[in-house]
Structure 1
Amino acid sequence: MKKLNLLFFSLSLFACGSGNSESSENKNSPNASIEESIASSNPSYDPNRGVGKFTDVEVSPTLDAALASKGQGAFDVKCSSCHKTTDEKLVGPGWKGVTQRHKPAWILNFMTNTDEMINKDPAVQAQLELCLVRMPNQNLTDDEAKSLLEFMRQNDGVK
């Protein structure tokens, strides 16, 4: 049993790597290649929205500071044990730049429809192969997810 715990602990520490040795160009190219592959193999799949009820989400060009503050509270309680707001990987990937890599509908669908996205979305499955840990469903309400999206936007520099 001790060996199993040690193995799990070791995998948890090193599952996603340090994330410091890759340039930002190298981090973006696998996603682009995944999306091209998805589009060619499954023309009905839309990598801009993922799988879920959110289809075309419009966000304001300016930040809603009150909503972002609520999102930071949700992050502190439900997300910070596995994610950092930098590009550093913890258990899951860092959040820096996430709103540039994914459309708002995709982000909201992933947060509110986690299990379906993991099961059906090739981009999420590719991320799972890197991190080796399946994101648990946090049972976020739509309002919590929207506040987290606004916090992510703030984290990515939207003012």
Structure 2
Amino acid sequence: MKKLFVFCCIGLFLAACTGGDSPKSTSDGDQSSEEVASAPAVADYDPNRGEGKFTEVKIDPKLDEAMALKGKNLSDLKCLSCHKLTDEKLVGPGWKDVTKRNTPEWIMNFMTNTDAMIDKDPKVQAMLEICMVRMPNQNLSDEDTRAILEFMRQNDGVK
């Protein structure tokens, strides 16, 4: 009886591991037009802006302290369980100098359109290989996203 149980468990495990990830194909082996149409269009992707609605973010060179405080409170709640304020990786990469390496548009688009950026952006894909965990969508409003960006700027030394 134990052998039958083990055999069934192995069979279920193998069935689960081999299921449904392969693309649908037509009888001649080509991908269906439905699958091709859903493939991400990377050719028109702007790596400086990212993928999303933020095309131009106006940043005052001087820090908005009230907005940075709101961003700190939001990031304490939604971000800092996975990110450190240093360059040290926790679950996700550290935030040190993130505003020096990326444009405000890129950062805000990544915070609000995470899945599309993971699928298209080479920098995000490289981070994913290191961290091995996809960032979840935090359902941030535009205002919340901008506040977190201001806190990131403060963390990077903007005064």
Do these two structures clear the TM 0.5 threshold for a shared fold by scoring above it?
yes
Q: Aligned partners of 1:137, 1:44: CA distance in 2, in Å? A: 23
Q: Is the 8 A contact 2:85 2:94 kept in 1?
A: yes
**Residue 73 (structure 2) aligns with:** 73
Partner of 1:135: helix, strand, or coil? coil
Deviation at 1:43, TM superposition (A): 5.8
Task: Write out aligned runs for 1:40-51 (5 A).
Answer: 44-51=44-51
**Residue 15 (structure 1) aligns with:** none
**Residue 97 (structure 1) aligns with:** 97
**Residue 111 (structure 1) aligns with:** 111
**Residue 19 (structure 1) aligns with:** none
1:12-67 deviation per Cα after TM superposition (whole angstroms, max 9, x unaligned): xxxxxxxxxxxxxxxxxxxxxxxxxxxxxx66321110000001212000000000
1:70-122 deviation per Cα after TM superposition (whole angstroms, max 9, x unaligned): 00000100001000001111000000000000000000000011111111212
**Which structure 2 segments of 5+ residues have no match?**
1-41
Amino acid at match of 2:72: Q
Partner of 1:127: helix, strand, or coil? helix
**Which structure 1 segments of 5+ residues have no match?**
1-41
Q: TM-score, normalised by structure 1?
A: 0.72
Q: Aligned partners of 1:79, 1:44: CA distance in 2, in Å? A: 30
Q: Aligned partners of 1:113, 1:44: CA distance in 2, in Å? A: 17
Q: Aligned partners of 1:60, 1:43: CA distance in 2, in Å? A: 32
Q: Is the 8 A contact 2:45 2:120 kept in 1?
A: no
Q: Aligned partners of 1:121, 1:43: CA distance in 2, in Å? A: 11
Question: Is 1:60 equivalent to 2:56 in the alignment?
Answer: no
Q: Aligned partners of 2:147, 2:83: CA distance in 1, in Å? A: 16
Q: Aligned partners of 1:65, 1:141: CA distance in 2, in Å? A: 19
Percent identity for Structure 1 against Structure 2? 68
Amino acid at match of 1:133: V
Q: Aligned partners of 1:57, 1:66: CA distance in 2, in Å? A: 18
Amino acid at match of 2:52: G
Aligned length: 118
Q: Aligned partners of 1:56, 1:77: CA distance in 2, in Å? A: 27
Which structure is richer in relative contact order (CA contacts within 8 A, separation 6 or more)?
A: 1
**Residue 140 (structure 2) aligns with:** 140
Aligned-residue CA RMSD (Å): 1.0
Q: Aligned partners of 2:71, 2:156: CA distance in 1, in Å? A: 14
